[in-house]
Structure 1
Amino acid sequence: MAEPGAKDMHGNVQRNAAAAEMGTAYDVIVIGAGWSGLMACKYCRAEGLRTLVLEGRDGIGGVWTFTPDQRVGGVMKTTETTSSRCITEISDFPMPADYPQFPSNEQIKTYLEAYCARFSLTEHIRFKENVKRTAKRDDLWEVTTSDGSRWLARHVIVSSGLHQHPNDVSGDERFRDYSGTLVHSAAVKDVSSEWSGKTMLVWGGGESASDIAFETSKVASRVYFCIPNGVWFVPKRVSGWPPFPSLEPKVLDHVTSRLRLWLSPTHKYSPFVYEYLEWAFGFNGHGQEAWRTDAPYQRSFFNKSADVLCRVKSGHVVPKRDIASCRGTMVRFTDGTSAEVDTIITCSGYSAVFPFLDESVPAGTDPRKWFKYIFYNEDPSLAFVGFARPIFGSIPGLAELQSRYVAKVFAGACRLPGPAQRRALTERDARFWDHHFRDTSRRIAGLVDHPLYADQLARLIGCRPKFAKLFFSSPRRWWQAITAPWNGCQFWLNDARHHDRIFATFRRYHGDRVAQVWIFVLVVPLLPLLALRRRLKIGLREHLLRAWRTRRAKRQLAGAKAPAGVALELYSRSEMQDLQ
């Protein structure tokens, strides 16, 4: 145990050292010591950049550090990850072997502390330094903290997180006349004894909403769960792959291999696959009509916190679409029914707000306005890490690639396009993702497809795996690589020095390659059809209709009495060649 006063002495030493350093300019200042900020610091230091991290709290971890203080955002006491450790862990720092597939918030905090120790990051972090102002002064950024300290740097990385500023919906007309207790999910840290025997309502369709509905249903007499826009429920654990059930639950994240990306019809958005998924899993609303969404599969945010569904089956949770109006504690739903509700918990999400950015830095809060969802176009010495949101995957997995890219750009190892080209590419990407997620992009900014966006960044970094080269050097390892679940270590494959570590990670998750083999067996017969569909840019249904017409025409021509000119009027030259 430390002697009395030792902590104060250490604080004085830190402050004195900080005062001596404030007059010198860092290469990079990172705002925030959460998951993203720590990786940004690590990769900047790996590129030889002098880096300082400013953190407002007294420890690392950001929202993954549980605190009972309702004024401070963070996880619930019972929160565990919704993405598996395979797709979430840092590429060069695997999670401990004894961790479960979905670690708890306490385990994540311990893991990040071990990461700091492994790469000596703590000595580069200043705790209890709330950033109040960030402005550009000539060629340097000046960052001012709450105690009046001023720090200078050539570059700034904002990693303050997505879950800092709750969206306030108390003024919404649906809740305006409600007289019961109305709270945002950010203030929910644990199941309150005050909810015992009460009627609760959870409003929202995200994973936090599902977790809260599940937990509150254990003590409340009834929980109404409103999902206004519907949702695709994708359980993070499934009992095998219908029609091939399994006694051991499978981790859905493990069906994220390169083989699936290359061959799986779910990645091609086939309408017939939607019907299969509906039959096999009931993903769209999970069989609840009130929760169905019009957004196509993989074009909307996925909810992987599906434990609440068992509470629906038992009757403790009642699915509803939305609230029409409130009067007192009486809530009227859009389906025409009403109920007395004691407490409403709104899970309306968070806004990415940066109050510390000076008015002279109108970077905005929408990642679609930043180059590759990272760089402020007007001044790319300002970058944002951790604000891209995958519909299926993990924010840390993408934030690591963002950190690698930013560090290389700031170190001069990678070059950004010129201003005009950068803006044009940003607008093009925004149009692409807006169309891709056209049913949800207006509500949730920064949505991306995890593997597609990761590959885009990998190309820019120069670390996209060269699978063809691996195939000719080692077919066995090539097969291991393309059938392994998605893991950030794959982006070190081009460097043979990392192969032992990489393939040890692949072997660690080898049990789920069986599912990939089934995908291969089922999809290979469809490859000619998929290739034809891509070449002609027609839908599968149109292709089948055309084939039917072709067969009918052949039969007609076989016994035709009509002149050839009729056929020429009905078919083009290329089509006639197909018929002959």
Structure 2
Amino acid sequence: MQRNAQRSATGAEMDTRGQAHDPAPRQAYDVIVIGAGWSGLMACKYCLAEGSSTLVLEGRDSIGGVWAFTPDPRVGGVMKTTETTSSRCLTEISDFPMPADYPSFPSNQQIAAYLEAYCDRFSLTEHIRFRQRVTRVAKLGDLWEVTTSDGSRQRARHVIVCSGLHQFPNDMSGDERFAGYAGTLMHSAAVKDIPAEWSGNTIVVWGGGESASDIACEASKVASRVYFCIPNGVWFVHKRLNGWPPLPSSEPKILDHITSRLRLWLSPTHQYSPFVYEYLEWAFGFNGHGQEPWRTEAPYQRSFLNKSADVLSRVGSGHVVPKRDVVSCRGTTLRFTDGTRANVDTIITCSGYTPVFPFLPASVPAGTDPRRWFKYVFYNEDPSLAFVGFARPLIGSIPGLAELQSRYVARVFSGACRLPEPAERRAITERDARFWDHQFRDTSLRIGGLVDHFVYADQLARLIGCRPKFAKLFFSSPRRWWRAVTAPWNGCQFWLNDPRHHDRIFATFRRYFGDRVAQVWIFLLLAPVLPLLLLRRRLKISLRDHLSHASRARRVERRPAGARTAAGVALEA
């Protein structure tokens, strides 16, 4: 990866370290991309494909962003053992499939190599300047001036921010729950590997995300005891099904097939049916996975889903102890919400990150909230500024959505697509924010930018003009139509309208279609009705509660701002 720093930086002189120096701005680029992670590379590729002159500024000496592992605890990024939480089918770039020998959930080393190969395939590196941390972005007339840490200045007509979600850890040291703690308190961003000094220690992992699950799982292999606190509870989703009958294998193909077009068209569970909660509770125990301290009141698919469920096996063996929350600390003694106490050597807070952009001008007040951007992408007040990679799917992959965002931005910036007028953009943005806030009302205050992967992807595809025309495909080739609507979700489907790509697309579909189609589809088509057959009495209660909750939600939404009754406060809580 270090070889990247030695490659050419277009239009700039290089010193002996391979760092670009260009203190005075030269000609204006069409686009400057900030960040050479997964999103930044795709943004660069699609802008170049639209004929836009493009420059990428990267603060490190390699591509990959958080996927470029570094042992330095001061630099954010993946752990040494991190693998993707979304399958390669959902994650790979639409016109650059991952190698056939990659596992279903590639490691961070494999992802880094994949992104290197992507750069080579599309000749992106010559457009990247490394060790160029952006310190200031300012609008000068019709151009943006971008200043980097060495004083260099570049100008462009458009700027795309791809600096990522995982740059600024949320600091919990001032939280009253941890006040008075005398042991080691650290954020998960500093955990790159499990240190030897944790051997025999008692560890607390605080937080309900995938990083928390991974750290708790790995730490439990060396520590004497790990307490895993999930303050708001969580729904766990296994990314591997481990042969649970009637599923055909432990590979995640069945989960990939759940994302197919036909499955989404047919299944009421995709529309957040009141039956799905009871069904999943019966079938898998997903809500807290049967652990009372981890249960959540949030309905399934209305809040964050934890896809790193391997930690559950460590719970079963007694190495990880489920807890709800920490109440207080005195010295190294922690008191939990269940009244128990424990002497703890280290607390790891997995409190997430804040997507702040200190380099943006103060005139960009919505710089930290994707819900204030048009389609979570364009800054409404000046759409020559865009953001890619900040929409977070409940189930799916950030790269899969970031690719569609990149295509959309590139086409808008080249003039191939037009944005709505300002007033219409603002109205659409407000409507979208209300929709997603209501959809994920149990989580949206804590985690911004949540979307339904499949709904949001189709919204972007319509704007780009690449949403698949399945009816046209059906009349031209019913066999290919069937293959397309039963194959798992993959970004290549958004090239279906162009027959020149069909050979590549259907080769991808065949690769992920699997060889047990009948078994898969029997299960998928039966899944929506199983709750009706098995849980008839309980479903009556579930449906009644669901309708009651929906009715109360509508009353709260109709109530004027500021008019809050006790029932409304309870519902919002």
TM-score, length-scaled by structure 2:
0.88
CA contact (8 A) 2:33 2:162 kept: yes
Q: Structure 1's 76 and 103: CA in aligned 2 closer, same or farther, altered over 3 A?
A: same
Within 5 Å, give how 1:553-572 maps onto structure 2. Answer: none
Within 5 Å, give how 1:237-276 maps onto structure 2. Answer: 237-240=240-243, 242=245, 244-251=246-253, 252-276=255-279
Aligned twin of 2:474: 471
Kindly state the Cα deviation for residue 263 of structure 1 after the two structures are TM-superposed: 1.0
Out of 526, 548, 563, the residue aligned to residue 522 of structure 1 is 526
How far, CA to CA, are the matches of 1:525 and 1:289 in structure 2?
Answer: 28
Q: Is 1:324 the counterpart of 2:319 in the alignment?
A: no
Q: Structure 1's 223 and 424: CA in aligned 2 closer, same or farther, altered over 3 A?
A: same
For residue 178 of structure 2, give the secondary structure of its aligned residue in structure 1. Answer: coil
CA contact (8 A) 2:248 2:519 kept: no
Residue identity opposite 2:152 in structure 1: S
Within 5 Å, give how 1:19-38 maps onto structure 2. Answer: 19=22, 22-38=25-41
Out of 337, 344, 348, the residue aligned to residue 347 of structure 2 is 344
Q: Structure 1's 247 and 485: CA in aligned 2 closer, same or farther, altered over 3 A?
A: closer
Aligned twin of 1:561: none
Aligned twin of 2:488: 485
Kindly state the Cα deviation for residue 255 of structure 1 after the two structures are TM-superposed: 1.8
CA contact (8 A) 1:257 1:516 kept: no
Gap runs ≥5 in structure 2: 531-541, 548-573
CA contact (8 A) 2:188 2:350 kept: yes
CA contact (8 A) 1:241 1:515 kept: no
How far, CA to CA, are the matches of 1:294 and 1:209 in structure 2?
Answer: 20
CA contact (8 A) 2:23 2:152 kept: no
Q: Is 1:510 the counterpart of 2:507 in the alignment?
A: no
Q: Is 1:209 the counterpart of 2:212 in the alignment?
A: yes
Out of 71, 76, 79, the residue aligned to residue 73 of structure 1 is 76
How far, CA to CA, are the matches of 1:120 and 1:277 in structure 2?
Answer: 46
Q: Structure 1's 116 and 305: CA in aligned 2 closer, same or farther, altered over 3 A?
A: same
Aligned twin of 2:459: 456
| Rg (Cα) greater in structure | 1
How far, CA to CA, are the matches of 1:74 and 1:107 in structure 2?
Answer: 15
Kindly state the Cα deviation for residue 313 of structure 1 after the two structures are TM-superposed: 0.2
Kindly state the Cα deviation for residue 363 of structure 1 after the two structures are TM-superposed: 3.5
CA contact (8 A) 1:68 1:189 kept: yes
Kindly state the Cα deviation for residue 469 of structure 1 after the two structures are TM-superposed: 0.7
For residue 200 of structure 1, give the secondary structure of its aligned residue in structure 2. Answer: strand
CA contact (8 A) 2:22 2:153 kept: no
For residue 386 of structure 2, give the secondary structure of its aligned residue in structure 1. Answer: strand
Residue identity opposite 1:518 in structure 2: I
CA contact (8 A) 1:228 1:321 kept: yes
Kindly state the Cα deviation for residue 264 of structure 1 after the two structures are TM-superposed: 1.4
1:298-330 CA distance string (max 9 Å, x none): 111111101100000000000001111111111
How far, CA to CA, are the matches of 2:240 and 2:212 in structure 1?
Answer: 18
CA contact (8 A) 1:240 1:250 kept: no
Kindly state the Cα deviation for residue 513 of structure 1 after the two structures are TM-superposed: 4.1
Kindly state the Cα deviation for residue 239 of structure 1 after the two structures are TM-superposed: 3.3
How far, CA to CA, are the matches of 1:17 and 1:347 in structure 2?
Answer: 36
Aligned twin of 1:555: none
For residue 237 of structure 1, give the secondary structure of its aligned residue in structure 2. Answer: coil
How far, CA to CA, are the matches of 2:123 and 2:384 in structure 1?
Answer: 25
Q: Structure 1's 525 and 212: CA in aligned 2 closer, same or farther, altered over 3 A?
A: closer
Q: Is 1:375 the counterpart of 2:371 in the alignment?
A: no
Q: Is 1:230 the counterpart of 2:222 in the alignment?
A: no
Q: Is 1:85 the counterpart of 2:88 in the alignment?
A: yes
Q: Is 1:195 the counterpart of 2:198 in the alignment?
A: yes
Q: Is 1:387 the counterpart of 2:390 in the alignment?
A: yes
Aligned twin of 2:534: none
Kindly state the Cα deviation for residue 514 of structure 1 after the two structures are TM-superposed: 4.1
CA contact (8 A) 2:274 2:546 kept: no
CA contact (8 A) 1:67 1:74 kept: yes
Kindly state the Cα deviation for residue 7 of structure 1 after the two structures are TM-superposed: 8.8
Q: Is 1:147 the counterpart of 2:150 in the alignment?
A: yes
Q: Is 1:119 the counterpart of 2:122 in the alignment?
A: yes
CA contact (8 A) 1:398 1:454 kept: yes
How far, CA to CA, are the matches of 1:301 and 1:329 in structure 2?
Answer: 31
1:66-94 CA distance string (max 9 Å, x none): 10111000000000101010000000000
Kindly state the Cα deviation for residue 540 of structure 1 after the two structures are TM-superposed: 6.3
CA contact (8 A) 2:89 2:490 kept: yes
CA contact (8 A) 1:484 1:510 kept: yes
CA contact (8 A) 2:268 2:528 kept: no
1:336-386 CA distance string (max 9 Å, x none): 111111100000000001001122333420000000000000000000000
How far, CA to CA, are the matches of 1:408 and 1:509 in structure 2?
Answer: 30
How far, CA to CA, are the matches of 2:217 and 2:229 in structure 1?
Answer: 13
Aligned twin of 1:300: 303
How far, CA to CA, are the matches of 1:249 and 1:39 in structure 2?
Answer: 28
Aligned twin of 2:441: 438
Kindly state the Cα deviation for residue 519 of structure 1 after the two structures are TM-superposed: 5.0
How far, CA to CA, are the matches of 1:39 and 1:419 in structure 2?
Answer: 27
How far, CA to CA, are the matches of 1:16 and 1:241 in structure 2?
Answer: 53
CA contact (8 A) 2:132 2:150 kept: yes
How far, CA to CA, are the matches of 2:19 and 2:77 in structure 1?
Answer: 31
Out of 92, 97, 100, the residue aligned to residue 94 of structure 1 is 97
Residue identity opposite 1:108 in structure 2: I
CA contact (8 A) 2:13 2:21 kept: no
Q: Is 1:106 the counterpart of 2:97 in the alignment?
A: no
CA contact (8 A) 1:202 1:345 kept: yes
CA contact (8 A) 1:82 1:102 kept: yes
Out of 422, 426, 429, the residue aligned to residue 426 of structure 1 is 429
Q: Is 1:138 the counterpart of 2:141 in the alignment?
A: yes
Q: How many pairs were matched up?
A: 527
Residue identity opposite 2:413 in structure 1: F
CA contact (8 A) 1:312 1:318 kept: yes
How far, CA to CA, are the matches of 2:71 and 2:309 in structure 1?
Answer: 25
Residue identity opposite 1:250 in structure 2: P
How far, CA to CA, are the matches of 1:521 and 1:86 in structure 2?
Answer: 21
How far, CA to CA, are the matches of 1:246 and 1:522 in structure 2?
Answer: 15
Aligned twin of 1:358: 361
Q: Is 1:415 the counterpart of 2:402 in the alignment?
A: no
Aligned twin of 2:173: 170
Aligned twin of 1:551: none
Q: Structure 1's 194 and 525: CA in aligned 2 closer, same or farther, altered over 3 A?
A: closer
For residue 178 of structure 1, give the secondary structure of its aligned residue in structure 2. Answer: coil
Q: Which moved more, 1:94-103 or 1:513-522?
A: 513-522
Q: Which moved more, 1:34-43 or 1:284-293?
A: 284-293
For residue 225 of structure 1, give the secondary structure of its aligned residue in structure 2. Answer: strand
Kindly state the Cα deviation for residue 273 of structure 1 after the two structures are TM-superposed: 2.3
For residue 98 of structure 1, give the secondary structure of its aligned residue in structure 2. Answer: coil
For residue 410 of structure 1, give the secondary structure of its aligned residue in structure 2. Answer: helix
Kindly state the Cα deviation for residue 523 of structure 1 after the two structures are TM-superposed: 6.8
How far, CA to CA, are the matches of 2:190 and 2:546 in structure 1?
Answer: 54
Kindly state the Cα deviation for residue 274 of structure 1 after the two structures are TM-superposed: 1.5
Q: Structure 1's 296 and 515: CA in aligned 2 closer, same or farther, altered over 3 A?
A: farther
Q: Which moved more, 1:269-278 or 1:87-96?
A: 269-278
Kindly state the Cα deviation for residue 249 of structure 1 after the two structures are TM-superposed: 3.8
CA contact (8 A) 1:37 1:159 kept: yes
Kindly state the Cα deviation for residue 265 of structure 1 after the two structures are TM-superposed: 2.3
Residue identity opposite 2:303 in structure 1: S
For residue 400 of structure 1, give the secondary structure of its aligned residue in structure 2. Answer: helix
